[in-house]
Amino acid sequence: MKKLISIFTVAIAVVIGCTFLIPGPKKAGAEDKTDGDKLKIVAAIFPIYDWVQNILGENSGNAEVTMLLDSGVDLHSYQPSADDIMQISACDIFIYVGGESDKWVEDALKEAVNKDMVVINLLDILGDQVKEEELVDGMEGEEEKSEEEEPEYDEHVWLSLRNARVLTDHIAGVIAEADASNADTYLSNAEAYEEKLASLDEEYQQAVSAAEKDTLLFGDRFPFRYMADDYGLTYFAAFPGCSAETEASFETIVFLADKVNELSLSSILTIEGTDHKIAETIRESTASRDQQILTMNSMQSTTLEDAEGGTSYLSIMEDNLEVLKEALK
């Protein structure tokens, strides 16, 4: 994804100009942190932010946690501001997804004031569990890549509860090392939270096992591949999860409408923040034209205001479970 070079030009100038105004942060893992020396954590997206808050628990006052994508712009459209670069530059722990949409991070980290910063790349943590972006039958494809180009990976790893457990556990270990005097509390909080994730994962598995159908059809992008694979679900969609396309071809509409007819699907799904026109067009192209249009939340436009209002990773995944149950009837 192309980013504007000017962003980094401005950011570098700001960093250089402010270097001598920023107190030198303590090295991660230091045990002599004082009450006034908070751990600075920058979380790129809402799910990471919420995981961190659950790890900190009642000790949230020990850390200053920043969520970068807080404007309703999703991961694929985000471009960092000079202030964002400054936040990253001086933090103790920076946690980001690490896919194609985060190509800007490499340049941002070169200008880091805190050379002891711990950087967590979610895709790196998951390793072989990360999946390549795929095209399924009927899906709008992008231009074929040359053999020299690296494969594009599906970035939406947070939409798997099983991935969330692995990632929360790793993040908790890093935070515990960075603030060793409270390590036991952080690890205990993470363990309790991971049990909640495991419990909800079991609810998903039971719901899918009891469902009449095993196929999802999205008249939209499909960022839920990790979820679908966790529970053995088949899916069809207009676009891959990381696609920037907004208009579906006549062939795609017809293919998806025929699938709705063939499989007798009662629902057509979308993700949050879209106008649902593609889903509506698919419905109007089916034989019965009476399918529900349901929305699953991929958390790509969840804001800090939403979080302060009580929205959490678990609450969204619980809501998605109810939508999933309805879609599989």
SS3 category, 128: helix
Query: Residues 21-46: what's their mean pLDDT?
Result: 61
Task: Please say if the pLDDT value at position 25 is more than 60.
Answer: no
Domain boundaries, the chain: 38-139+153-200, 212-327
Residue spans of alpha helices (H) in the chain: 5-18, 46-56, 82-90, 104-110, 122-126, 161-178, 183-210, 225-230, 250-263, 277-284, 304-308, 313-327
Looking at residue 268, its pLDDT comes to 98
Is the pLDDT at 212 greater than 50? The verdict is yes
Question: Is residue 281 pLDDT above 90, yes or no?
Answer: yes
Q: In the predicted model, is pLDDT for residue 67 greater than 80?
A: yes
Residue 67 phi/psi, 5-degree rounding, is -110, 120
pLDDT digits (tens, 9 = 90+) for 217-254: 999 999 999 999 999 999 999 998 877 677 899 999 99
Class of residue 65 by CB neighbours under 10 A (exposed 0-12, middle 13-18, buried 19+): buried
**175 pLDDT band (50/70/90 cuts)?**
very high
pLDDT at 17: 42
Q: Which sign does the torsion angle of CA 283, 286, 289, 292 carry?
A: negative
Predicted local confidence at residue 72, as pLDDT: 63
pLDDT of residue 35: 45
Residue 76 DSSP label: T
For the chain, percent helix, then strand, then coil, each to nearest 5?
50, 15, 35
- Could you count the other beta carbons within 10 Å of the beta carbon of residue 203? 14
Residue 24 reports pLDDT greater than 50: no
pLDDT (0 to 100) of residue 3: 40
pLDDT at 299: 95
Which CATH entry fits the domain spanning 38-139+153-200: 3.40.50.720, 3.40.50.12280, 3.40.50.1980, 3.40.190.10? 3.40.50.1980
Confidence class for position 261, pLDDT limits 50, 70, 90: very high
- Structural domain 212-327, CATH architecture: 3-Layer(aba) Sandwich (3.40)
Tokens of 195: 């049990």
Lowest mean pLDDT among 40-54, 130-144, 197-211: 130-144
Q: Tens digits of per-residue pLDDT, 188-205? A: 999 999 999 999 999 999
Give the model's confidence band at 99: pLDDT under 50 very low, under 70 low, under 90 confident, else very high.
confident
In CATH terms, are 38-139+153-200 and 212-327 the same topology? yes
